[in-house]
């Protein structure tokens, strides 16, 4: 039975919040140490429960707990965005362009059975069943900021593991330079495909070193549960230092290629959506500034604005990937 934690106990990352977290981490380390011993099974159970205790579980979908991630930059102490906002205010154009459309229409999405085809320049191509992907590496919880190109942001506790675990498993060949993500495009399930707003299927891509970066999360859940359909069930990407549209939802194919591919948004408006799309307050979108953002749920819809951070605040972790590159040209 999941233990119930009152929401407000976790909503505000105040200094008084930080001490219990530190104690909690020490306890986890202790549990890990002890878990090797005879009482291992019981203690592992406690550890799993501890992981759950980090984040309030909404109790709406199947549980998918993840242990606190050890990856640097995986946790922000900012207040989590309300689950209702994270599941009610979405971009998922396959279900319509209005922010409320995905929550309204995504229930039609069949997420089981599901598989992801791995193809292109790898030694181990093939169709990977979702069940096998779920077991490929231990689940971690990562609290990441998601910064949408339109100027809003959220803070979400995602559950998944580094995409690098899967990439290493399929053994990219030396010529593989880019990783492309192809998402589901089924007109029977997705009413938004009737509109020509994008060239379906929605595709995205990363340079191989970006895809291998430990922060790049192959994501199966959020808030301790499997992903809601409007958030990209059953498997999506989350690339926290890039604008949200790089984080492709409902992935059906991962392709290893040599040349930088066009992406769905790049095809729609190349001057507005470059290949890199790293969050950058100094490079404006042609039609609006990127210097600030509004945090969903904070002080009303159009109230206070926050300063947008270079690489969405993950510069220490990912800045090196772009050393020597002109970020104005490679936007
Ligand atoms: N397949 C697909 N993936 C997608 C999109 C989409 O329209 N289709 N929208 C992107 C955009 S613009 C953003 S900001 C994020 C939003 O993710 P969220 O709704 O879980 O917050 O998903 C991204 N992934
Ligand atoms: Mo977005």
How far is the C-alpha of 153 from the C-alpha of 89, rounded, in Å?
A: 11
Given the CA of residue 102, which atom of ligand 1 is nearest to it? Answer: 19
The pLDDT-based confidence of 182 (bands split at 50, 70, 90) is: very high
- Cα(191) to ligand 2 centroid in Å equals 19
Given the CA of residue 89, which atom of ligand 1 is nearest to it? Answer: 19
Strands 217-222 and 236-238: what pairing? antiparallel
Q: What CATH number has the domain spanning 15-322? A: 3.90.420.10
- Cα(91) to ligand 2 centroid in Å equals 6
User: What's the pLDDT at 54?
Assistant: 65
- Cα(124) to ligand 2 centroid in Å equals 32
Contact present, 311 and 243 (Cβ < 8 Å) = no
Q: Is any ligand 1 atom within 6 A of the Cβ of residue 247?
A: yes
User: What's the pLDDT at 304?
Assistant: 75
How far is the C-alpha of 212 from the C-alpha of 206, rounded, in Å?
A: 9
Q: Which of 6-10, 29-33, 74-78 has the lowest mean pLDDT?
A: 6-10
Cα dihedral 243, 245, 250, 254 sign: negative
**From atom 5 of ligand 1, which residue's Cα is the shortest distance away?**
92
Q: Which long-range contacts (CB under 8 A, 24 or more apart) does 245-249 make?
A: 245/91, 245/148, 245/149, 245/204, 245/273, 245/277, 246/204, 246/206, 246/277, 247/146, 247/204, 247/219, 248/181, 248/183, 248/202, 248/203, 248/204, 249/92, 249/183, 249/202
Find all residues with CB under 8 Å of 21, minimum gap 6, and list them: none
By the CB criterion, residues less than 5 angstroms from ion ligand 2 are 91, 148-149, 244-245
| Tokens matching residue 292 | 């600030």
Nearest to 207 by CA among 71, 330, 316, 69: 330
Has residue 41 got a pLDDT over 50?
no
How far is the C-alpha of 157 from the C-alpha of 118, rounded, in Å?
A: 27
More confident residue, 306 or 46: 306
Contact present, 122 and 178 (Cβ < 8 Å) = no
Q: Is any ligand 1 atom within 6 A of the Cβ of residue 250?
A: yes
CA atoms within 13 A on the CB side of 13: 13
The burial of 286, by beta-carbon neighbours within 10 Å (0-12 exposed, 13-18 middle, 19 or more buried), is given as: exposed
| Residue-wise pLDDT tens digits, 259-303 | 999 999 999 999 999 999 999 999 999 999 999 999 999 876 666
- What average pLDDT does the segment 23-29 reach? 40
Name the pTM for this structure. Answer: 0.86
- Cα(119) to ligand 2 centroid in Å equals 27
Contact present, 90 and 156 (Cβ < 8 Å) = no
Q: Is any ligand 1 atom within 6 A of the Cβ of residue 183?
A: yes
| Residue-wise pLDDT tens digits, 66-106 | 999 999 999 999 999 999 999 999 999 999 999 999 999 99
How far is the C-alpha of 140 from the C-alpha of 148, rounded, in Å?
A: 23
Has residue 31 got a pLDDT over 50?
no
| Tokens matching residue 208 | 């191989």
Has residue 35 got a pLDDT over 50?
no
* Main-chain dihedrals φ then ψ at residue 133, nearest 5 degrees: -65, -40
Q: Is any ligand 1 atom within 6 A of the Cβ of residue 204?
A: no
User: What's the pLDDT at 303?
Assistant: 66
């Amino acid at each position: 039975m999941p233990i119930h934690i009152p929401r407000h106990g976790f909503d505000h990352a105040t200094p008084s919040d930080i001490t219990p977290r530190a104690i909690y981490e020490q306890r986890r380390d202790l549990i890990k140490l002890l878990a090797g011993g005879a009482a291992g099974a019981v203690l592992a159970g406690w550890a799993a429960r501890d992981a759950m205790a980090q984040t309030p579980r909404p109790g709406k979908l199947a549980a998918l707990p993840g242990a606190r991630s050890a990856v640097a930059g995986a946790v922000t102490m900012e207040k989590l965005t309300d689950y209702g906002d994270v599941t009610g205010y979405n971009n998922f154009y396959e279900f319509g362009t209005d922010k409320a459309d995905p929550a309204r229409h995504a229930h039609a999405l069949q997420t089981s059975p599901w598989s992801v085809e791995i193809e292109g320049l790898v030694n181990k191509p093939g169709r990977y069943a979702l069940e096998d992907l779920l077991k490929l590496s231990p689940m971690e919880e990562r609290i990441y900021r998601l910064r949408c190109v339109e100027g809003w942001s959220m803070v979400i506790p995602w559950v998944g593991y580094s995409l690098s675990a899967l990439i290493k498993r399929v053994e990219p060949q030396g010529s593989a330079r880019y990783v492309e993500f192809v998402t589901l495009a089924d007109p029977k399930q997705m009413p938004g495909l009737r509109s020509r707003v994008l060239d379906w299927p929605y595709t995205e891509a990363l340079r191989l070193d970006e895809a291998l970066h430990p922060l790049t999360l192959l994501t199966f859940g959020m808030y301790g549960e499997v992903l809601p359909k409007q958030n990209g069930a059953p498997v999506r990407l989350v690339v926290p230092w890039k604008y949200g549209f790089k984080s492709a939802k409902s992935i059906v194919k991962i392709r290893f290629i040599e040349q930088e591919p066009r992406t769905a948004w790049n095809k729609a408006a190349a001057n507005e959506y470059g290949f890199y799309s790293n969050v950058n307050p100094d490079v404006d979108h042609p039609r609006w500034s990127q210097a600030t953002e509004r945090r969903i749920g904070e002080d009303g819809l159009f109230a206070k604005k926050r300063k947008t951070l270079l690489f969405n605040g993950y510069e220490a972790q990912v800045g090196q990937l772009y050393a020597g590159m002109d970020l104005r040209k490679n936007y």
